[in-house]
Amino acid sequence: MRVTVSVLKADIGALAGHTAPSRGVLSRVEAVLEEGRGLYLDRYVFHVGDDIVLLLTHDRGPGDPEIHALAWRAFQEGTEVAKREGLYGAGQDLLKDAFTGNLHGLGPQVAEMVFEERPSEPLVVLAADKTEPGAFNLPLYLAFADPMYSSGLLLSPELRPGFRFRVLDVTKTERDTFIDLEAPERLYDLATLLRDPHRYVIQSIWSRRYPEEVAAVVSTTRLRNIAGRYVGKDDPVAIVRTQKIFPATEELGPPFGLVPFVAGNTRGSHHLPLMPVPANTPATSFFCIPMVAALGFSLREGRLTGPIDLFADPAWEPIRARAVEKAVEMRRQGFYGPAMLPMEELEYTGITERLRALEAEFRS
Ligand code: 13P
Ligand code: 13P
Ligand code: MG
Ligand code: MG
Ligand code: MG
Ligand code: MG
């Protein structure tokens, strides 16, 4: 069957700062989804840090107004609970008051894909907190274009032709522009763009052997483009299909073991490593190290079996320790140099006003 997978995520308030949603908020969100049961085939709800992730499978296609309206209502009613409980940042990612038929441009992150289901359809949902959409650039590039990580590119004739990457320029506030680049031929061009994750973001990846087959989709909402100021980090989600004509699940995992420095953490204004964590982990009070969770599902006729928590097994413990080591080292230098984001990225926060005031005090 042709199935649509929708992942919709929002931060609607958290306990004691930007840590995790409360039980009350999560159960309200679940209750609203339960009321909309007839609309979708299956669902799964989890959180990463203070962001709530809704996974819905259905046959209504991407951007369906009723699916999006259901998610919007779940986030809104969850926000009411968050307000009653005095949670921090209640309704933080709901940047517009009125729902206009689609969540795009309203604040929540959205990743959706539609495909003809394979007899066995392994699916991975990635969800990050305290970072930006470009945080998935390097892991996805390594999993889909680098045989050092994905030996399937050498071993499997299905993968050998490579993958097509759609990359967005997310600095355009009016309308995102995109480019399609085919790997391996355009590998250097791809790297030229992906090295700047604040600006260029992988939005989707496609099989070249089977051009209709979508491999991965990433949410690309930049909140500051909507709000015009810093209102929290953009905390992306992604959907990745694995196995057979795609990299294996165990080829998608290892690039996250690099724990690369990404933008985010405290006040969304610094560089720290992206730490793989189990789903439902609260944000760490240690500088809010950016985190990513990965849940694996099997899909059959739109119904989900699972999940399996892909970053929960013992191999990830020393990787997390490495992420903490890198974080400690970077934060030891406080605000200085690469520890804090470059000025263009901070331009939507208070520091730029201070800098303008200081410039006025300069004399020649
Ligand atoms: P299994 O033999 O356990 O199915 O593993 C096959 C494989 O290719 C793992 O990468
Ligand atoms: P969130 O976007 O996850 O709410 O993080 C905001 C922040 O400023 C943390 O310090
Ligand atoms: Mg948040
Ligand atoms: Mg928050
Ligand atoms: Mg968050
Ligand atoms: Mg955020």
Ligand 1 interacting residues, C-beta cut-off 6 A: 248, 250
Structure pTM?
0.97
**Closest residue by CA, ligand 2 atom 4:** 232
Q: What interface predicted TM-score (ipTM) does this complex get?
A: 0.89
- How far apart are the C-alpha atoms of 216 and 59, rounded to whole Å? 18
Per-residue pLDDT, 345: 87
- Quick one: what percent of the chain has pLDDT higher than 90? 91
CB 234 less than 6 A from any atom of ligand 2: no
Whether the per-residue pLDDT at 221 is higher than 90: the answer is: no
Q: Report whether 237 contacts 54 (CB < 8 A).
A: no
Among the ranges given (13-17, 215-219, 224-228, 330-334), the one the predictor scored with the smallest mean pLDDT: 224-228
The dihedral sign for the CA sequence 178, 180, 186, 190: positive
CB 288 less than 6 A from any atom of ligand 2: yes
**Residues tagged in the binding site annotation:** 11, 18, 50-51, 88, 92, 101-102, 129-130, 233-235, 243-244, 267, 348
Q: Report whether 230 contacts 109 (CB < 8 A).
A: no
Give the ligand 2 atom nearest the CA of 283: 3
Location of structure tokens 């929290």: 232
CB 18 less than 6 A from any atom of ligand 2: yes
Whether the per-residue pLDDT at 169 is higher than 90: the answer is: yes
Q: Report whether 181 contacts 278 (CB < 8 A).
A: no
**Cα dist. 194→106, 134, 136, 263 in Å?**
26, 8, 10, 14
2 alpha carbon, distance to own chain's centre: 24
Domain spans of the chain, in order of start: 2-354
* Tens-place pLDDT, residues 108-122: 999 999 999 999 999
**β strands within the chain, DSSP E:** 2-10, 42-48, 51-58, 109-116, 121-129, 163-169, 177-183, 200-207, 214-218, 237-241, 261-264, 270-273, 275-276, 291-300, 303-309
Per-residue pLDDT, 173: 66
